Structure 1
């Protein structure tokens, strides 16, 4: 069995427009066409991987908080320049947690979306 890579990550969100604002305008992810499903949602292309947001108003993240915690469940996005990303995200007023560890690949930051989904960014 040969694995090629991760095709997509799906996250539950409760308010689509709020989530789209965060992923489109704050993080700058590329919104792509989504098939017409019975449920609301949005798809993003991030390099070779897609992010699928699925509206489930009764849902909540496993975390249940927007607090930043590097040890909690999350997915990671690789960026070309972590310092540029940190400068950009700080200008938007987004709370972030910065962690440096050479053994784990250097500096990385964590942010939370409005529903509590945790995202790591690293170069």
Structure 2
């Protein structure tokens, strides 16, 4: 068996509409078709692939369930992404990964889930981001 790539991340939230808006506005994911599981949720797509699955849960469940530490996307278009973060007033930090040609942009979604978006270091001039 060979693992090819991350298929999707499933997040539980009691703020479904805000999470859909955040992933759409900040990361550019697109809400799309989702099977009728009998409960509210949303699938957010990158191209034709549903990358983030959101499941609505009552507030008391969302507050007590453990969250994942992080998940990551590989991307291109560093400067446009940083501009999008600023346009949406999203706090972030950009870190050059030692020994690799990667700049990691760290953000948190509405529920505080840690996400990093990785770019080729050649795209980023971190002096401009400080």
Q: Same fold (TM over 0.5)?
A: yes
In structure 1, runs of 5+ residues without a counterpart are: 64-71
* 2:92 aligned partner: 96
- RMSD across aligned positions (CA): 2.0
Q: Which has the higher contact order (CA 8 A, sep 6+)?
A: 1
* 2:51 aligned partner: 50
Question: Residues 10 and 104 from structure 1, CA distance in 2 versus in 1: closer, same or farther, beyond 3 angstroms?
Answer: farther
In structure 2, runs of 5+ residues without a counterpart are: 120-130
Q: How far off its partner does 1:102 sit?
A: 4.1
* 2:110 aligned partner: 114
**Higher Rg:** 2
Q: Give TM-score, length-normalised by structure 1.
A: 0.80
Q: Give TM-score, length-normalised by structure 2.
A: 0.76
Deviates more, 1:75-84 or 1:100-109: 100-109
Which protein has the bigger helix share?
2
Give the total of aligned pairs. 115
